[in-house]
Structure 1
Amino acid sequence: MHINVTIGRKPWLLATYLLATLLPVCSFCHPISVADTSFAGQQDRKLWCNLLYKMASPVVFNLAAGTLKKNMPVEKAPGYALKAEKVTYLEAVGRTMAGVAPWLALPDDESSEGQQRKKMREALLKGIQNGVDPNHPDYLNFRTENQPIVDAAYMALAFLRAPHALWEPLDALTKKRIVAEFKSLRSRTGAYNNWLLFAALNEAFLLSVGEDPDPARIDFAKRKISEWYVGDGWYNDGPSFSLDYYNSYVLSPMLVELYAVLLKHQRISQQEYETAVKRLVRQAEFLERFIAPDGSFPPFGRSITYRTGSFQALAQAALMNRLPEQVSAAQVRGALTAVLNRMYTTCNNFDANGWLILGFCGHQPGIADYYTSTGSLYMATLCFLPLGLSANHPFWTSPTADWTSKKAWSSQPFKKDYHVDY
């Protein structure tokens, strides 16, 4: 059978239609599922965009409207040990910003996704202005408590990931206020673990916008994180090893972002940067293998209420086009889409007003840590970094592929795994 039809100047529209609708029911040819076509990638992207928009909207649009503190529920873990009213709002804002930044950095277009992005970016810029205005009801606390060191660093991460979209459009007064808030963090120190990176990244952000950083905070973090590397893509979190997702929540991604700034300003060598990236890529390789055929993943270690934030290192490797050898963009998209479906379709992780709730799969406050409140949960946005790749990138256009565990459990060939020496 031969069909020679052109729809306008886009013959691929007919091809997509045939693959998606006619061929699956064809009685004389091998069935082809929609998941086997590049159309599936665009459907995946739509799912990701809508889910990120849903997750980030309560934080971003309330901050823009000046109603974040009024409307955001503040649920705390049993035994919560911080002052939630002093820290939870900056947690929500900083962490959300870090997750949405690459997506908001894409140029405007007339698509429904483009309209979502533009609306959220404009609201976030207004919200940032509100959040550093001392006279505004949603003024965010950078000045007291230790926790703001952490969440300022996630805000810094957002500015570093999307400087043209989130930093440059801000007015001069707002920029001046942000710099002052970041410098105020120097009055405090945090824990002797991954917190060293938070302090260093805050200084790296200041360096990136032309301010003088505190070199001691940067150099101390560089030296200790390097010393804490234990091999095969894993770092100790402080003097001892913890088997949890902090290598993805913080250590590898933030070290790479820190080194990118330092490399640009000629404060480290290219080799130092590449070594950090290689370790991130190895961490990403483990994360891809953690994803089961059904999209579930092991709920072990601290801060499991951060849900999909567990996959930041894998998401960042995809965004950087630095995925592990023999791990394709298509299989990472498939694996992470399965995770998102499992986590946010199967599990009810939002309240009636769209805010994230304490738990892993549903409302499970008993698994929350003593430092966890509602704002903490927005680490979940860090899984969405590949949305910073354009819709025509192979990550989104390649036909869906099985990921490692799906291959392994369906008797397909898959790559053997060995440790690495860098």
Structure 2
Amino acid sequence: MYRTSGAPIELQLPPEDRESAPFTGWTRAHWEAVADHWLLGLRPHTSPGHAAVLPPASRLSVSGRRSDGLEGFARSFLAASARIAGARGADPENHAEWYAAGLAAAVEPGGPEAWAHAADTRRAPVEGPAQPIVEASAVAFGLALSREWLWDRLDEGVRQRLGAWLAHHASLQAWDNNWLLFTAITEAFCDSAGIPVARPHAEADVERVESWYLGDGWYNDGPLETQGRALDHYNSWVIHPYLWMWYRLRGDRAPADRRARYRERLAAFAGSYSRLFAPDGSPLFLGRSLAYRTAVLAGPWAAALEGVSPLAPGATRRLASGTMRYFTDRGAGSTGPLALGWTTGEYLPMVQGYSGPGSPYWAGIGMLGLSAPADHPLWTEPEQPQPSERNDTPATVALPDLGWLVATSRRHGVVRVVNHGTDHTRPGAAAPTGEGYGPVYARLGYTTHTSPGFGQAWSDGADGHLALVDAWERATTRGAIGGFAVRGEDVAASWHQPFIGGRALPGARVVTASVLHADAEVRCHLVDAPEGWTVREGGTLVATEAAEKPSLPAGGAAWAGDDRWRSVLAPLAGWSGARAETLPYGAVTPLGGGAEVPVLWAAGRPEGGRGVHVSVHALG
């Protein structure tokens, strides 16, 4: 029996197997152990009937306790359903029985644990939480995965009541972004189970999502005119796995040309996205909802399960095991429930208001590969190198439809994205300022081993950004990307209008071109500035325990970091008489300790006009 009181139980893993898994040592048994540990570790934090799961956290989401309890159940069910499905009936921890009891309690008429019904987002103002739309889709996704061992074995009355609850959410109109797929999946499951839906609209919603396709396997998360260029991990933890499940549930009823089109896009995504994982398993730190952690693996798993991935099965498993091990080795979910953070423990500055105690368990969709049986090539083929460690893979690759350059440093084991294409900002608007939004979209560069600065670092606007600064040291923020271009595999450029206090700064404009060479990036800035504003550029912020460094001589390079990582920013042109310094911070990243940013200040306070500033950025 799993202990239900006292100190959390440590994760117990089987011995490594370096013959079948020469890169990570992990086999299917390791994945099963992690899944069981996550799921059993939640049982002490559940309601008596199992319908609500509320792990400890220092805050609830904006949707409230009742919705958060449903969220904890539904999201942990993503991992449970994959574990149940792949085991093909072998269930020593009784996960199927445990979740079946929760489903029954959730739809008991007048029961104390009955799940809430989501509000209709078509009515303004929205009265009540809309969040159950998301959680209904997770329940539907999990039931589709584990149908034979769970849904088919539920009591008929429970199936009818649960079906009615799902059908209600399938009939609702969701927000005009990835949420359209939540109702679509719920409707598709209902249809596959013979459950009528009052207002079916999934076909149109899926085609609308398909219309947001940009290229290189990636979708924008909503219309460009309202969401800006919203490119982030939602492509892997919602858009691709949900589209994959949608076409799977529709089967022959989905038009053949649409299914073929999606398979091509899924294959392209697996190829481009797999470049964003470092050899040590760390994924790119970019975008919102990063507390979902291993959900980044859902897209690559889906491509492999569909049989369209350009990666060999052994390479997919190596990538996935590397990332799962990266988080597990750093304490995420190892000694207690997953927290609202990145590695171990909470880090609330990076968390959005919609996230609650159970939100991190969306990570469970990253266990999608466990739904494949033990004799699947994903589990029987030996591990093979992932793209970031293959010598025959170019160190630099362009994703022109995204406005990104992806660079892998084989010497330092870090993957960098030069970002000229994502901002999550409406055209003509300032970068998002809400909690957990601005830092993860508005920077010119993101990596697998650093985090942008939150809190005071974001307010100062130094890291990874060229700002105009006034006499009171107020710094401009990056406005929406006005346009971008990518040339070859190592050159990209974009322009934006700087904003100050939420308004565009008149007469100001910044055009930036990035050129990659070896482990360095040269940034060339063409700056139009009004009178009285000076130029300040910041390099990559790095977590460090080092003490504050003194300013360096005028014209010299600025650097930050310690023995783990060193961030360097050196002037090449247009910085005559510049001042180089290091800005120290406290815990402004989820990577722990303090942090530092190397900074260059242009000499004097210009009279306004146009100038060119060229610098080199390096991280190693």
TM over 0.5: yes
Q: CA deviation at 1:43?
A: 4.5
The counterpart of 2:363, out of the listed 380, 383, 386, is 380
> For residues 358-402 of structure 1, what are the alpha-carbon distances to aligned partners after superposition, in whole Å with 9 as ceiling and x for unaligned?
101122121111101111111111111111222232222222222
| Paired position in structure 2 for 1:131 | 106
TM-score with structure 1 setting the length: 0.79
Assess if the C-alpha contact under 8 Å between 1:142 and 1:152 holds in 2. no
Structure 2 CA distance for aligned equivalents of residues 323 and 74 of structure 1 = 38
Structure-2 residue corresponding to 1:262 = 250
RMSD of aligned C-alpha atoms? Answer: 2.9
Counterpart AA for 2:266: L
Partner of 2:179: 195
Please point out which of 265, 270, 284 is paired with 1:279.
265
Identity %: 26
Note the alpha carbon deviations across 1:51-103, whole angstroms, 9 max, x for none.
111112244676584266586325437xx5x2221311222222222233233
TM-score by length of 2: 0.55
Q: Distance in 1 between matches of 2:99 and 2:41?
A: 11
- C-alpha offsets along residues 189-233 of structure 1, whole Å, 9 cap, x if unaligned? 332111111112221111111123356521331231122111221
Q: What is the alpha-carbon distance in structure 2 between the residues aligned to residue 390 and residue 337 of structure 1? A: 16
Unaligned runs of 5+ in 2: 1-15, 120-128, 402-620
Q: Deviations over 1:250-291 (max 9, x none)?
A: 112212222222334x2x212211211221222222332211
Q: 1:285 to 1:168 in 2, by over 3 A?
A: same
Does the C-alpha gap of structure 1 residues 70 and 220 become closer, same or farther in structure 2, counting only changes over 3 Å?
closer
> Which deviates the most, 354-363 or 40-49?
40-49
* Cα separation, 2, equivalents of 1:303 and 1:344: 18
- 2:306 pairs with 1:338: no
Work out the CA distance in 2 between the residues paired with 1:67 and 1:200: 26
Aligned equivalent of 1:356: 338
More strand by share: 2
Query: Which residue identity is paired with 1:93?
Result: F
- How many positions carry a matched residue from both structures? 371
Separation in 1, partners of 2:281, 2:347:
20
2:189 is aligned to 205
Q: Which moved more, 1:366-375 or 1:222-231?
A: 222-231
Q: State the one-letter code of the partner of 2:105.
A: N
- 1:296-335 alignment, distance < 5 Å: 296-324=282-310, 327-335=311-319
Q: Which secondary structure state, in structure 1, belongs to the residue aligned with residue 214 of structure 2?
A: strand
- Give the conservation status (yes or no) of the 8 Å contact 1:69–1:138: yes
In 1, the alpha carbon distance for the partners of 2:206 and 2:192 equals 17
Separation (CA, whole Å) in 2 of partners of 1:115 and 1:263: 29
Question: 2:145·2:371 contact (CA, 8 Å) conserved in 1?
Answer: no
Query: Is structure 2 residue 117 aligned with structure 1 residue 142?
Result: yes
* CA shift digits 1:143-186 (9 cap, x unpaired): 55211111101111111222112210111111111112123336
The equivalent residue for 2:581 is none
Cα distance, 1:247–1:40 mapped onto 2, change above 3 Å = closer
Residue 237 (structure 2) aligned to one of 226, 236, 249: 249
Q: CA deviation at 1:140?
A: 2.4
Distance in 1, Cα, partners of 2:39 & 2:307? 25
Which residue does the alignment assign to 1:368?
351
Structure 1: unaligned runs, 5 residues or longer: 1-32
- Select the structure of larger CA radius of gyration: 2
User: Residue 85 and residue 181 in structure 1: after superposition, are their counterparts in 2 closer, same or farther (change >3 A)?
Assistant: same
Distance 2:343 2:45 in 1: 25
Higher relative contact order (CA 8 A, sep 6+): 1
Contact 2:171 2:197 in 1 (8 A): no
1:106/1:212 Cα in 2 relative to 1: closer, same or farther (>3 Å)?
same
Deviation per CA, 1:81-138, whole angstroms, max 9, x where unpaired? x2221311222222222233233124557xxxx443x621221222221222244443
2:393 aligned partner: 414
